[in-house]
Structure 1
Amino acid sequence: MILNISQFKKSRLAEAPTVWTSKTGARVEYLAFADEGVRNKTPLILLGGAFQNFRSFRKEAELFSADRPVLLLDLPSQGSNRQLLPDAEFQDLGNLLGEFFIAHEVKQVIPVGLSYGSAIAFHFARLYPQLVEKLILGGATPKLRSSFETLLHETFRALDLGQRERFAHGVVVNLINYSKRASTGISDRYLTAFQEELLNMDDLAFVCYRQNCQRIFRAERLTARIECPALVFTGEHDHFTLPQENAELVQQSLPNGTFVLVKDGDHLLNLERRDTVLALYQAFLTDSSLGQIPGVTIPELESFIKTDRRQITRVQTPGLKASLNETVTVELEDLSLLGCRLTGAEAVPASFFDARVLDLQINLPGIPALTAHWADEDSKTRLLFSMSGARDMAALEKSILTLARS
């Protein structure tokens, strides 16, 4: 079977993709682009994250299809592929990729996995090392932190309650480091457009979102050793997959990998710093120097992994009092835009730690009540604030930091 490859045209991104079905019934949808004289070269495979589709990679397809085939791939529940495989794990999706390339007699590929797509690309490279010439991962982590699992579960709750605006706002705040917008340059216009896109999702898209998140929750830590040359990158202000987590993945699993940190970047780098990301791809594909690209650094892994991981300003607040559910007074040890730490849990009733308690309400002096959750199931001191109901994030951040420093 031969890949259906055509010359790149922008209009093709809106056309129906080619569909391939595995022996088990799982579907792969793809568009493939390449100029006539380069179709025998190693293809570049683009696997996007949540809420991305073929149009998200227009620049990549246009630029790199002049040098090699570029495949835009959607696996089940990803992009325009609405097939539901709720029990499939990341390794199953990696296997599906391997079967697809073997069926199409593709000898080797260069996968690019971004965010959610990074786990698929990692497992594919682990399972089919003979098919992988090089590997590129962006916004990756060995295992999503439990605190962000909690916040993603909050978006489920918003959907269950039919509160789509709360859902959309929560997703944006989870993926974008709001407190670093002055550095990243993410505009109000971009945030509004992102939220509008989320609000316009249909019911099946919400099911896909939930299934993809649950797949992330079930995923075991990435620990395999992958020998091929690898590039891993993220923004210095990425608070969804921390820069140190990206570096850990290189140190632990990619002996021939390089970690690159993008200055003033956040999690959605291929949208926020597209020119820098394209330059990284080009340099890596051509074995050129990554360190010469403006706006990037290559940290020494061991020392960088030990650096402070906090992305949000956290202020010590001895003596500051707040109330939980308007019934229990607690004292805070520290406070930030995302949460707080209690000095002690002695005054908190045991029922407040019940896993079935989805929401706690915390009242801080001079600030509207915030919804909060324990940071993880073992935590009895650290609370995370849910920002999915907060409308004016800039004003809220200013109020919290003013209170914390007063």
Structure 2
Amino acid sequence: MRTALTTAQDSPDAGCPGPVPPASEQVEERILAFEGFAYGCRVVHQSAPQTAPLLLLGGSSQNKYSWQRHEKWLAPLCTLITVDLPGYGASDFLPSRYGIDFLAAAVKHMLVEIEMPRVNLFGGCFGQVVGLRFAQLYPEFVSRIVFGGAARRLPESYTDAVPRLSRALERGELADAASGLVQLFMSNPGASQVRKHTAVARLLHRQFMNQTPDEIKKAVEHNTRLLTHGCYRPLPIPDVPSLVFTGEYDTLCTPQMGREVAATMPAARFTTIKEADHLVTVERMQEASDLIGRFCTDRPIDDLPYCNPVESLRADRDSATGCRGALPV
């Protein structure tokens, strides 16, 4: 295990163009190992936190540096934790026979190693898949849950596209694979109304084209892992304050899919962020950060100008079944 103390500027800003705002608190980088696989995490310490540490689990194409631009709004509130789990980012390659339970156990291992016994949990896209399994298996670690771009099932567009994308990657046809990836994540009838759609599509394409052979190998294995193991198990979910959101124009993990996830959670609310699609945390970075930060510090999230009305799915479910105890809104 190796520990390194850095500043935010010392690390590459993967997936984020432009200068990185300096962190106001100490940044710690750790190299850990779980079941023989090395992986790394990044901790931005906050000496005067307003809430529990926030663990950010991003999508499969994001790494532990992808959230540096969000620190401007989140780091003043609490300690932030990002991670390259085994099989992702700069961590060791992880064969696809290791499924979501293994990744959830790696999250627990990290939190034990860095002595963070309880966290607010954010999971976006694939990070939601890992985050939900982590919350199901290790509920004692979770204070609040926020999911973005969530789904209980693999979208048909994903299962249809994955074989084509994987074959293109294996043949070294990066341009075709990159175009297919952008279409998968960002092609939608509301594209003209999505903030920064053209710029983010260009960024995603460029990021994919710049992948190393190791990253391409991991991307193919990631797709195999999801198709082999699936993304959801009907296990109990902790009864903690929970929020699910996505972009209103998300066609990969649609708003209805997000509602389905929220409906399985004992204390979940749901909303969509206006003028955004699946890449909402990039297209509307400040707004998504504000929403996450507000929820994790128990501030109101109703009537935010950048969100559509917040739905209380627990209240809707209890009303339909005649039960008491609906979640206040």
The answer for unaligned runs of 5 or more in structure 2 is 14-27, 318-329
CA contact (8 A) 2:157 2:184 kept: no
**Is residue 233 of structure 1 aligned with residue 245 of structure 2?**
yes
SS class of match (2:55): strand
Aligned position for 2:31? 19
Q: Aligned to 2:135, which of 122, 125, 138?
A: 125
SS at match of 2:152: coil
Q: By how many angstroms is 1:103 displaced?
A: 3.3
* Cα distance between partner residues in 1 of 2:316 and 2:185: 23
Which residue identity does 1:83 align to in structure 2?
Answer: F
Q: What's the counterpart of residue 289 of structure 1?
A: 300
Equivalent residue for 1:68?
78
Q: 2:53 aligns with which of 40, 43, 53?
A: 43
Per the alignment, residue 151 of structure 1 pairs with 161
2:280 is equivalent to residue 269 of structure 1: yes
Identify which range, 81-90 or 260-269, moves more after superposition. 81-90
Instruction: Return the structure number with greater relative CO, CA threshold 8 A, min gap 6.
Output: 2
Superposed, 1:1-400 pairs within 5 Å as: 9-14=7-12, 17-22=29-34, 24-38=35-49, 42-217=52-227, 218-226=229-237, 227-252=239-264, 254-297=265-308, 298-299=310-311, 301=313
Residue 28 of structure 1: SS of its match in structure 2?
A: strand
Task: Select between 210-219 and 264-273 the one with higher mean Cα deviation.
Answer: 210-219
- What amino acid sits opposite 2:217 in the alignment? V
How far residue 62 of structure 1 moved from its aligned partner, in angstroms, is: 3.6
Q: Distance in 2 between matches of 1:303 and 1:108?
A: 27
Q: Distance in 2 between matches of 1:141 and 1:194?
A: 21
Alpha-carbon distance, 1:10 to partner: 2.9
Q: Distance in 1 between matches of 2:231 and 2:144?
A: 23
Work out whether residues 263 and 296 of structure 1, in 8 Å CA contact, stay in contact via their aligned partners in 2. Answer: yes
CA contact (8 A) 2:268 2:313 kept: no
* Matches of 2:314 and 2:76, distance apart in 1: 38
User: How many residues in Structure 1 have an aligned counterpart in Structure 2?
Assistant: 300
Kindly state the Cα deviation for residue 285 of structure 1 after the two structures are TM-superposed. Answer: 1.1
Q: Which has the larger radius of gyration?
A: 1
Asked if the contact 1:47–1:113 (Cα under 8 Å) also holds between the matched residues in 2, the reply is: yes
* AA of the residue aligned to 1:162: G
In the superposition, the TM-score normalised over structure 1's length comes to: 0.68
CA positional deviation for 1:189? 3.8
Q: Which structure 1 residue ranges, 5 or more long, are not aligned?
A: 306-406
Q: Partners in 2 of 1:228 and 1:300 — Cα distance?
A: 14
Q: Per-residue displacement from partner, 1:207-252 (whole Å, max 9, x unpaired)?
A: 1111111222121534223122111110111111111011101112
Letter in 1 for 2:11: L
Corresponding residue SS for 1:135: strand
Q: Given that residues 82 and 208 in structure 1 are in contact (C-alpha distance below 8 angstroms), is that contact kept between their aligned partners in structure 2?
A: no
